[in-house]
Amino acid sequence: MAKTKVRMGMVGGGQGAFIGAVHRIAANIDGEIELVCGAFSSNEERSKASGADLFLPAGRCYGTYQEMFDAEAKLPAEQRMQFVAIVTPNHMHFSVAKAALESGFHVLSDKPATFNLQEAVDLAEVVKSTGQLYGLTHTYNGYPLVKQAQDIVASGQLGNITKVIVEYTQGWLADKEGDSGKQAAWRVDPKRAGISCCMGDIGVHAANLAEYVTGSHISAMCSDLGSVVEGRLLDDDGTILLRFDNGARGVLLSSQVQVGDENNLRLRIYGEKGGIEWSQLEPNTLWLKSNTAPTQMIRTGVGEMSANAQGAIRTPAGHPEGYLEAFANIYGNFVKQIRAFEAGEEYSNATFDVPGIDEAIRGMAFIENSVTFSQSETKWHDFVISPL
């Protein structure tokens, strides 16, 4: 049987939306995915206009996601979409994902997974009962040298991990004027973003990255969040002390009011034998440090790399690969997972290196824990998975 592209639908991401375009670019990079349908806006007219802009046939541009799932499910198996990418504001994630899974479609969702932790726990039950695949776009796991860093830690090269420092800082919300922009308006609105702006938007990425690379889970937190900009209802800055289940201590810094900072994501991990350092601003360089040897600069594609890192590289050394390619690696792995699922082969998220419902729950727990613990006079709190 001839190999065909995997067919994707999209909810959200219409005209003027930043992240929808990023998802589509990422899905297109490897030529494995075809966008076949979409419900691109809660406004029916705008949704259909957005689909027309993407050269989709009028009959596959839907006014609502419910209409799309119903219509697509009735199409012949070789025509209907196989998975849906969810790129709406947070408050829509659960209802769209639940409806898609129950209609027989796999889901690849933008993060955070849901509006609150209870929804993530409920969604896990839907994933289990439907048997469909669920993936979450924790994009930064897709960088080749992040995967190489994970392998270095897992191999024991650093020894027992003792210290983890992770930062994700931006400056784009440093003043109130920015709140009215399309990208900011929903992020600072509790009705659409949830209980957190900064931690829900970027802090959760930092927490996930730390857990992904170290292979350890956050076990306790001491949280201090706040709103620097007067009148803002949700946090725009925060510092969290961390303890991990392997005994390591850590610090997580996240801010959207550090003037001049771009998407400054930086990870440092130290063990008894050495340390590593990686920054998204220089994503093709990983530093390996020691007290007994010169610091080593590891470059993407130079020399022997782990299988996961090598599989994430597309171009020869010296040709920079960045955010879009890392995003595409999440999509590429999800496509491989779908193909394995349909072939009746092993298809777990862990096997295909795709963040899934477990990471979704931990991410929502991190967000709720960070906000709740910050409001407490108690210094340290155990990391809690169940809704607070």
* Residues 78, 100 contacting (CB under 8 angstroms): no
Q: Backbone phi, then psi, for 252, in 5-degree steps?
A: -120, 120
Return the pLDDT at 40: 98
* Residues 300, 325 contacting (CB under 8 angstroms): no
What distances in angstroms separate CA 380 from CA 219, 221, 254, 288, one per listed residue?
A: 10, 6, 19, 32
Return the pLDDT at 96: 98
Q: Which of 65, 104, 110, 294 is nearest to 204 (CA)?
A: 110
* Residues 66, 99 contacting (CB under 8 angstroms): yes
Helices (H), 131-243: 144-154, 182-185, 190-193, 198, 204-214
Distance CA 354, CA 307 (A): 15
Beta strands 33-39 and 6-12 are parallel
Sheet hosting strand 237-244, strand order edge to edge: 296-299, 285-289, 275-279, 264-271, 161-169, 249-255, 237-244, 218-226, 381-382
Distance CA 236, CA 257 (A): 7
pLDDT under 50: residue ranges of the chain: none
pLDDT, one tens digit per residue, over 259-317 is 999 999 999 999 999 999 999 999 999 999 999 999 999 999 999 999 999 999 999 99
Beta strands 249-255 and 264-271 are unpaired
Q: Which of 4, 7, 8 is nearest to 84 (CA)?
A: 8
Q: Strand ranges (DSSP E) for 200-329? A: 218-226, 237-244, 249-255, 264-271, 275-279, 285-289, 296-299
Neighbours of 103 (CB within 10 A): 18
